[in-house]
């Protein structure tokens, strides 16, 4: 199964989606399944995983509704308040929806350097295991130390690192990020999405070679069996078309075995998210 493990849908609202600033005008509009499906078909993808972009249960419900109406949406990574007193009840509620595979919090927007280590947040993570829900880690490179301390507390929980932890590709800095990524990858329950890179580099004039050291690092650290391709569509459109984002990855992995390529391009995502 060929899977795009990370993309978003939204009905654009300038207040709810205030993070889409004027430099990102190209994505200040609706992006729905009818926009993505022909792109996936063109590139022979079997489906995708829709990931939350707004921190509300209304967002989760929106994605569930889209997934139920569109078979190519194979899984949903939603949002739920993991620090709520009734988190168990909320997870029990979402467990009834077959396509809900896990949850995510936009930790990259949190100013607390120990946000994921808050007792209530950790208590919420503990509850995920009862339903085999995954947790997507969305952070910037400078939050990797927090993530490392966090994942060590939950050796049985399945974690997926989004966007290779958003290294500062624009500046070309990678030494500290590289060291921390290697440490994180030692935890065998952590997987990594090869996604989001173009938005962390120069939005215009970038070259595929800009991403090589970052791709080298995650491939060596995680191996093909713990890497998965994600387009981050439509966010990627601020810097690259879907075809261009895809080609960066497919060209890079072209020297790998067919089996290794298949893992990165879908089989890892199928396994970790339990997609059918």
The pLDDT value given to residue 52 = 98
**Torsion angles phi and psi, residue 47, rounded to 5:** 175, -170
Fold of the domain built from segment(s) 3-272: TIM Barrel (3.20.20)
* Model pLDDT, residue 153: 98
| pLDDT value for 3 | 98
Q: How much is the pTM?
A: 0.96
Cα torsion 74, 147, 91, 133: sign: positive
Whether the CB-CB separation of 50 and 234 falls below 8 Å is answered with no
Tell me the per-residue pLDDT of 161-186, one tens digit each, with 9 for 90 and over: 999 999 999 998 999 999 999 999 99
Alpha carbon distance 23, 26 (integer Å): 8
CB of 107 within 8 A of CB of 139?
yes
Cα atoms found within 13 Å of the Cα of residue 94, Cβ hemisphere only: 34
Contact criterion met (CB below 8 Å) for 157 and 135: yes
Q: What is the pLDDT confidence band of residue 120, given thresholds at 50, 70 and 90?
A: very high
Mean pLDDT of 130-147: 97
Q: What is the pLDDT of residues 3-51, one digit of tens each?
A: 999 999 999 999 999 999 999 999 999 999 999 999 999 999 999 999 9
pLDDT band at 116 (very low <50, low <70, confident <90, very high): very high
The C-alpha atoms of residue 243 and residue 246 are separated, in whole angstroms, by: 5
Q: What's the residue count for the chain?
A: 276
d(CA 91, CA 24): 34
* In the chain, % of residues over pLDDT 90: 98
Q: What is the pLDDT of residue 109?
A: 94
pLDDT band with cut points at 50, 70 and 90 for residue 111:
very high
Percent of the chain surpassing pLDDT 70: 100
The predicted-structure confidence for 187-240, as pLDDT tens digits, reads as follows: 999 999 999 999 999 999 999 999 999 999 999 999 999 999 999 999 999 999
| Cα–Cα dist 29/108, whole Å | 23
Across all residues in the chain, what is the average pLDDT? Answer: 97
> pLDDT grade, residue 113 (50/70/90)?
very high
């Amino acid at each position: 199964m060929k899977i795009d493990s990370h993309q978003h849908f939204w009905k654009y609202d300038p207040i709810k989606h205030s993070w889409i600033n004027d430099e990102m005008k190209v994505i200040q509009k609706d992006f729905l399944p009818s926009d993505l499906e022909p792109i996936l078909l063109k590139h022979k993808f079997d489906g995708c995983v829709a990931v939350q972009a707004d921190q509300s249960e209304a967002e989760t419900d929106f994605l569930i509704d889209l997934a139920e109406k569109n078979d190519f949406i194979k899984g949903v990574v939603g949002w739920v308040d993991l620090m709520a007193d009734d988190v168990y009840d909320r997870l029990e509620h979402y467990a009834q929806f077959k396509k809900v595979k896990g949850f995510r919090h936009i930790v990259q927007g949190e100013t607390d350097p120990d946000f994921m280590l808050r007792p209530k947040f950790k208590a919420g993570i503990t509850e995920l295991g009862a339903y085999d829900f995954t947790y997507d880690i969305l952070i910037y490179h400078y939050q990797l130390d927090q993530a490392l301390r966090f994942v060590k507390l939950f050796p049985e929980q399945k974690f997926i690192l989004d966007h290779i932890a958003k290294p500062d590709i624009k500046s070309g800095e990678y030494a500290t990020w590289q060291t921390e990524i290697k440490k994180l990858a030692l935890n065998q329950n952590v997987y990594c999405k090869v996604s989001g890179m173009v938005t962390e580099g120069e939005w215009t004039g970038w070259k595929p070679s800009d991403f090589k050291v970052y791709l080298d690092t995650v491939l060596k650290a995680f191996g093909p069996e713990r890497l998965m391709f994600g387009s981050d569509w439509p966010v990627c459109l601020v810097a690259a078309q879907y075809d261009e984002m895809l080609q960066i990855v497919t060209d890079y992995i072209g020297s790998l075995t067919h089996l290794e390529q298949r893992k990165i391009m879908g089989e890892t995502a199928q396994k970790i998210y339990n997609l059918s």
